[in-house]
Structure 1
């Protein structure tokens, strides 16, 4: 008791740096020393008085020491948490005595530095994560996303994607989380597509169309790399966000993602995925029409979808996978060329979409072919050339080479003439003396004779 009294009396006149060290020492003593109940009460009172110390260095030292303390006095921690941002950061980041309600209040009313400190905590539960996702600044949310201890719900991820999906760093942090969920992932893909479209010199309606097409292509391509479960989640996410349109489904078929289309029909119609897959594979027109109608898709567009599926089935059945890069173009072109069903506003819109898709695929196919030809050319040029091709001959050498070549050709022609004559004689004998090739002046012999004369 006497020591605590002396400490309190000494701190009234001690310099700030020594008072700061004394605050840290007092917390350690309160934690580990064998103090009587009266001594602990006096020590707690002394620490409470330090909350009013005019020097921030002293309060910061107290906050740092109490942040790591086990079961410290709650009123001290709470008072320090509501102090100036610099002093509050240690207890906000580390103290375990702050309850969720207090942390939520500090997130909603605190500074960006205080929000970031809370985002660094060793335990960030779903309630704290949701509050940060809704009210936290970008910096604090990025810290939370990179904190392995942060537990976030799919709704929180979606909120973060809505708020910060336009930021490339936020997108990277969100995509890096394995627990993000498909709702947030598809939204992030759309946000990224919007960023790409903004770089184009387009008017507003054209930019919206470009954004939608880029997003649809990206989502369908992304889904093609995933399994059945993830494809189904993507379908459910798009339905929840009202993004699963007839145009999107037609684009999915044209791009060859039949798995995504299968799960879309399954979810929309309430039929088992295996049953839908068998119907699509067997090309059962009546069964397909029944499931299509249960899915609630436009009835007039059903022949367009069935024609696209039939075209894919035909090409895949013929083993066309070797030229997979050109298949989407071929399928789309065949559907456009062969469709003879009824026409209305819905079908016309889909056919217009098919023409745009076909044009895109044609360009991609052409670029792929040109790249292939360019690569072949580069590889051919990289091969070592024959020495004869690179060695330059003098005129006299060229003349000598030509004369030698003429003599060799004359000898070869003469040998061919004799071989042909022997063959004709054998043929005449077999046919009773009548050659089926012709007389001695047949066209073949005339040609050889002319070669001989010219060579001579």
Structure 2
């Protein structure tokens, strides 16, 4: 009887009045002690109201039923597929929407509705995967900001692949403590591509020049990142670099000239498919012929072999003893030694290699000068009361703790890091 009167009254009511009455009917359905017949009639009336031309009426239903466990499922599902201003409360909170429902709704949802789904509490991994695969950038950012979401690593990689060029998403990902180093390197590559596109679009550099500069900057950052990578993640990082086409001879040579023997060995192992123990044994064997065979199997260019050979020989001779800066930067003495040896060979096929080594030499000299100047600024003998300041003494005391024994470069597979 009450529902019949309600339906008769609706015919002449304004949208605002209909919305207010609909909200009251929905609350009565949830909280009042209605008979079975009245509940059935109320549900029928609300299903009819799903066709009301005013979003105010449908929105009133959504607001009441958004968090209700006892809401009519057919009404909730219809509201979830409505326009965003109606659907968002239901999409963001309704416990009646299963993971399958959410994935299906997400595929055709508008951006605001996608964001609502991505912001749900206790979001499951399958739904997160769907968001990462087809969601808009705003939805993926909302997913990353959702602390309750269960996001698999492959979903993070997919977001990096699709939206790693966007600063907001990139910054959020970099701040995550659970992001593997391989994924961090993928973000570096995305950033390099974005910067290259930005520079070339404004005609500050030609497109080829910008891409070349960005690629070298990415390689430099990758070597620095690898120096901070836990030993157990190095192999995965090398696998990512190979699969993405970034494990080049130039990057591997940069690592070796920086003293990062771990990265060098892991890179060769990844390219050859050999165990790290065998690769290390060949590299550190006094007979260079063993390394030559491994080098060839890795598919590295013949023209660059001389540089790798001279670098390994220099490491054995302790050329990096007393060097500072860890394994994150090119070592000037090492680079200049290798460059001089390669120049002496005078081979026609080494032009590109020599050009690369000369760029490395300039970069290493600038880094060394920057470190030297930083040390001079940091160490003020007058301010610290060292009136009898002696430069030779300062040089020794400032760098002595960084010195290492070149025997650290014999194979130590179980050590977490071989440092310069």
For normalisation by structure 1, the TM-score amounts to 0.73
**Any conservation in 2 of the 1:63–1:80 contact (CA below 8 Å)?**
yes
Partner residue, 1:331 = 334
Partner residue, 1:293 = 296
- The reply on whether 1:307 has 2:310 as its aligned counterpart is yes
> What is the CA distance between 1:199 and its match in structure 2?
4.8
Distance 1:328 1:384 in 2: 33
Distance 1:248 1:344, change over 3 A: farther
Q: Please give the secondary structure, in 2, of the residue aligned with 1:315.
A: coil
In the alignment, which of 252, 275, 281 is matched to residue 272 of structure 1? 275
**Any conservation in 1 of the 2:282–2:294 contact (CA below 8 Å)?**
no
Partner residue, 2:84 = 85
After alignment, is 362-371 or 328-337 more displaced?
A: 362-371
> What is the CA distance between 1:251 and its match in structure 2?
1.1
Partner residue, 1:394 = none
Which stretches in structure 1 are left out of the alignment for 5+ residues?
387-456
**Within-5 A mapping of 1:311-322:** 311-315=314-318, 319-321=321-323
**Any conservation in 2 of the 1:157–1:181 contact (CA below 8 Å)?**
no
Distance 1:52 1:207 in 2: 57
Distance 1:373 1:227 in 2: 32
**Within-5 A mapping of 1:39-118:** 39-70=38-69, 72-100=71-99, 102-118=101-117
> What is the CA distance between 1:149 and its match in structure 2?
3.3
Show CA shifts across 1:259-287 (max 9, x none).
Answer: 11111112222222234334445555243
Q: Max radius of gyration: which structure?
A: 1
Show CA shifts across 1:412-450 (max 9, x none).
Answer: xxxxxxxxxxxxxxxxxxxxxxxxxxxxxxxxxxxxxxx
Distance 2:75 2:270 in 1: 55
Distance 2:257 2:15 in 1: 74
Distance 1:232 1:324, change over 3 A: closer
Partner residue, 2:347 = 343
> What is the CA distance between 1:219 and its match in structure 2?
1.0
Distance 1:298 1:135, change over 3 A: same
After alignment, is 238-247 or 266-275 more displaced?
A: 266-275
Question: How much is the aligned-residue C-alpha RMSD, in angstroms?
Answer: 3.1
After alignment, is 167-176 or 20-29 more displaced?
A: 20-29
**Any conservation in 1 of the 2:29–2:39 contact (CA below 8 Å)?**
yes
**Within-5 A mapping of 1:130-145:** 130-145=129-144
Distance 1:170 1:112 in 2: 16
**Any conservation in 2 of the 1:66–1:95 contact (CA below 8 Å)?**
yes
Show CA shifts across 1:19-47 (max 9, x none).
Answer: 44443443344345554443331221122
- The reply on whether 1:187 has 2:174 as its aligned counterpart is no
Partner residue, 1:218 = 221
Distance 2:360 2:324 in 1: 22
**Any conservation in 1 of the 2:185–2:225 contact (CA below 8 Å)?**
no
Which stretches in structure 2 are left out of the alignment for 5+ residues?
388-420
Distance 1:271 1:123, change over 3 A: same
**Which has more helix, going by share of residues?**
1
Distance 2:140 2:183 in 1: 15
> What is the CA distance between 1:203 and its match in structure 2?
1.8
Show CA shifts across 1:53-105 (max 9, x none).
Answer: 34433321210221211153332122212222211111111223334555445
**Within-5 A mapping of 1:408-427:** none
Partner residue, 2:237 = 234
**Within-5 A mapping of 1:337-416:** 337-339=340-342, 343=347, 345=349, 347-376=350-379, 379-380=380-381, 382=383
**Any conservation in 2 of the 1:235–1:244 contact (CA below 8 Å)?**
yes
**Any conservation in 1 of the 2:50–2:58 contact (CA below 8 Å)?**
yes
**Any conservation in 1 of the 2:164–2:190 contact (CA below 8 Å)?**
yes
Distance 1:313 1:64 in 2: 73
Distance 2:117 2:326 in 1: 51
> What is the CA distance between 1:372 and its match in structure 2?
2.4
**Within-5 A mapping of 1:27-38:** 27-38=26-37
Q: Please give the secondary structure, in 2, of the residue aligned with 1:256.
A: coil
Show CA shifts across 1:221-248 (max 9, x none).
Answer: 1111011222211111111111211111
The count of corresponding residues between Structure 1 and Structure 2 is 381
After alignment, is 70-79 or 114-123 more displaced?
A: 70-79
